[in-house]
Chains A and B, each alone.
Chain A
């Protein structure tokens, strides 16, 4: 089950709106499990702005380096400083501990994102 208060991309990123025009963004539990041990996370600088679908960083695991794409448009107002010393937080809890960036949302959250049920169905179809 994926958290209902998030929206998802088909590329396995999540966005969790915080109710005040900001949101946190990261990769989903499905993604971290598939990647294996996350050993390095490359994040943008505070102040950078991205459109929906833009690459904002990369996550490196024992297996591979994966690009991370913005679920929705926004300006980076905070990056998760813990991930430099503790990239494994992405594996341990990808939302609460392993979130990657906090953004000020630009406009409404991208309407094309999947809700939790649709993302779960997407994951189920990908695993076959």
Chain B
């Protein structure tokens, strides 16, 4: 039985503005407007606006909310913030995963501590029900309430160097809002009844939860608003950002940007295999000694068992922008098949020159270097390969040589001080 696809509040806007609408899981979403390539480049050099209202927000309340999340979520909430591994305090958020007892990924997530007894869990589109159900099952009589807010909120991501100036035009007291708002922290609330709702407001008083985070590797915010405010807020931001080149962006550019930022796609780069030996060790609470974890959590025992023999997920970059079909490609080393391709995308903002990868945003980019884009992504193979190793990725039509790398798009802006963009 096929069910009708769902729409976000911005569906009509997307169609009216040339959005090429496709089916994306349960939803109808724009894959691009005029040009996926231009949208990708706009985010790296100016700013882009993404409708992410299809993502799912779960609220977790109660005395035992911390304990439940400490068991279910891979990050150690007592030691996960910044290079000193500080505890997760009010207004801080952290990236990690929900695993099953085999150490396989249920979903990846950003978890926010709003205040004592109140957490917010952000997961992928269509995963709100499954993750909420998982949390309720694991709660086992603990004093905790879980609310799945799927399709009840609006969410808009603004990403790129011009994001900060754009939002500064729209916020009350932007200097106060942007002060002490480091990467992976949040202020405000989408619920007007929250005690935090006054922290971040648009000029017309609309409250929003402003999260200094995103899925592109470039500086910006994920913004949560009441559902009914979504279209108004989107249009306000588009108008404010026009002078800075703010561009509406679809799912194709979202995917190519996140790949260039070495970020995984749930159910593609992480999935039904042990979530270890991959480019995201920060998602697990490894002890400083490197052996073992700093806490036990759902899946930790299985990961410790699996680690010595688990497959390796590695990052690669090609030599030009041509790709293979990431859903149907294998990896070869010296003619032998060694694994599969998980993701194959093109980061349009990067190019190779004399042994280095440059971005259009790289301050040391040689003058006159024509940047045309490079194929990049993730592979899963049986044993670890050193960075610099060349492998072949091959689909039914073509074979491409790519190099194992530790990073893809250099000089990303996500972590830079907000005031440097004003």
Point out the residues of chain A lying under 8 angstroms from B323, CB to CB.
60, 65
Is A51 close to B, CB under 8 A? no
Question: Which candidate, B32-40, B47-55, B111-119, is the interface stretch facing chain A?
Answer: B32-40
Point out the residues of chain A lying under 8 angstroms from B133, CB to CB.
none
Contact A39–B346 (Cβ < 8 Å): yes
Q: How far is the CA of A63 from the CA of B22 in the complex (A)?
A: 12
Smallest beta-carbon distance A32→chain B, Å: 11
Point out the residues of chain A lying under 8 angstroms from B385, CB to CB.
none
Contact A37–B325 (Cβ < 8 Å): no
**Smallest CB-CB separation from A67: which chain B residue?**
B397
Bitwise interface map of B from 389 to 422 toward A, beta carbon under 8 Å scored 1, else 0: 0000000011000000000000000000000000
Bitwise interface map of B from 230 to 256 toward A, beta carbon under 8 Å scored 1, else 0: 000000000000000000000010001
Smallest beta-carbon distance B205→chain A, Å: 40
Point out the residues of chain A lying under 8 angstroms from B397, CB to CB.
58, 65
**Smallest CB-CB separation from A34: which chain B residue?**
B20
Contact A62–B322 (Cβ < 8 Å): no
Point out the residues of chain B lying under 8 angstroms from A60, CB to CB.
322-323
Bitwise interface map of A from 48 to 77 toward B, beta carbon under 8 Å scored 1, else 0: 000000000010101111000000000000
Point out the residues of chain B lying under 8 angstroms from A88, CB to CB.
37
Instruction: Choose one: A37, A40, A63, A65; the contact of B35 (CB below 8 Å).
Output: A37
Is A3 close to B, CB under 8 A? no
Contact B36–A37 (Cβ < 8 Å): yes
Is A47 close to B, CB under 8 A? no
Instruction: Choose one: A40, A58, A62, A65; the contact of B36 (CB below 8 Å).
Output: A62
Point out the residues of chain A lying under 8 angstroms from B36, CB to CB.
36-37, 62
Smallest beta-carbon distance A94→chain B, Å: 15
If A37-B36, A37-B37 touch, whether A63 touches B252 (CB-CB below 8 Å) is yes
Bitwise interface map of A from 27 to 47 toward B, beta carbon under 8 Å scored 1, else 0: 000000000110110000000
Contact B252–A64 (Cβ < 8 Å): no
**Smallest CB-CB separation from B22: which chain A residue?**
A63
If A36-B36, A37-B35, A39-B37 touch, whether A64 touches B322 (CB-CB below 8 Å) is no
If A62-B36, A62-B346, A65-B397 touch, whether A40 touches B321 (CB-CB below 8 Å) is yes
Is B373 close to A, CB under 8 A? yes
Point out the residues of chain B lying under 8 angstroms from A37, CB to CB.
32, 35-38
Q: How far is the CA of A74 from the CA of B320 in the complex (A)?
A: 31
**Smallest CB-CB separation from B36: which chain A residue?**
A62
Smallest beta-carbon distance A97→chain B, Å: 16
Interface centre among A40, A62, A63, A91 (most CB of B within 10 A): A62
Q: How far is the CA of A65 from the CA of B321 in the complex (A)?
A: 12
Smallest beta-carbon distance B107→chain A, Å: 26
Instruction: Choose one: B37, B320, B398; the contact of A62 (CB below 8 Å).
Output: B37
Interface residues of B in 1-43 (CB under 8 A from A): 20, 31-32, 35-38
Interface centre among B36, B37, B252 (most CB of A within 10 A): B37
Smallest beta-carbon distance B271→chain A, Å: 23
Residues of A in contact with B (beta carbons under 8 Å apart):
36-37, 39-40, 58, 60, 62-65, 88, 91
- Can you name 6 extra interface pairs (CB under 8 A) apart from A39-B321, A39-B348, A62-B346? A36-B35, A60-B323, A62-B37, A65-B325, A65-B398, A91-B35
CB-CB nearest 6 A-B residue pairs:
A37-B37, A62-B36, A37-B35, A39-B321, A37-B36, A40-B322
Can you list 11 A-B contacts with CB-CB less than 8 angstroms, sorted by A residue number?
Answer: A36-B31, A36-B35, A36-B252, A39-B37, A40-B321, A60-B322, A62-B37, A62-B256, A62-B346, A64-B325, A65-B323
